[in-house]
Amino acid sequence: MPRQRSEKTTPLSEWLDRNQDKVSRTDFAQKVHLDDRQNLDRYCRGDRRPGLDVAFDIEDVTTKLSAGKDVIAARTWWLPPEQRPRRQEAPAKPRRKKSR
């Protein structure tokens, strides 16, 4: 008996569920040049983010299969601002005392 699917969803997992009559998850993984479906499942659960090349492949395949109406854009995988690592500010330089 297959395991129950994770409750976590991402735009990609929702897209694949909506378009399961057009493409299976295994076929989709092959179309975006993934070695196996496990990587696709990790992206669908949100456990992992694809690299830029795979993100663009996902955008291309979703564009072609949905005729441009329902696309998973590559920018979907960027981190929201609150999760981005903060830049560390340079320490303040000590002020010089003015000589008289």
Q: What is the pLDDT of residue 28?
A: 95
pLDDT at residue 1 tops 90: no
Cα gap 69→74, rounded to integer Å: 15
Give per-residue pLDDT as tens, 71-90.
Answer: 888 888 876 656 655 555 55
Q: What is the pLDDT of residue 86?
A: 57
Q: What is the pLDDT of residue 69?
A: 86
Give per-residue pLDDT as tens, 16-59.
Answer: 999 999 999 999 999 999 998 999 999 999 888 899 999 999 99
What is the pTM (predicted TM-score) of this model? 0.72
Cβ atoms of 16 and 28 within 8 Å: the answer is yes
- Reading the block at residue 97, the tokens are 């005392």
Q: What is the pLDDT of residue 88?
A: 52
Q: Is 1.10.260 the CATH number for 11-75?
A: yes
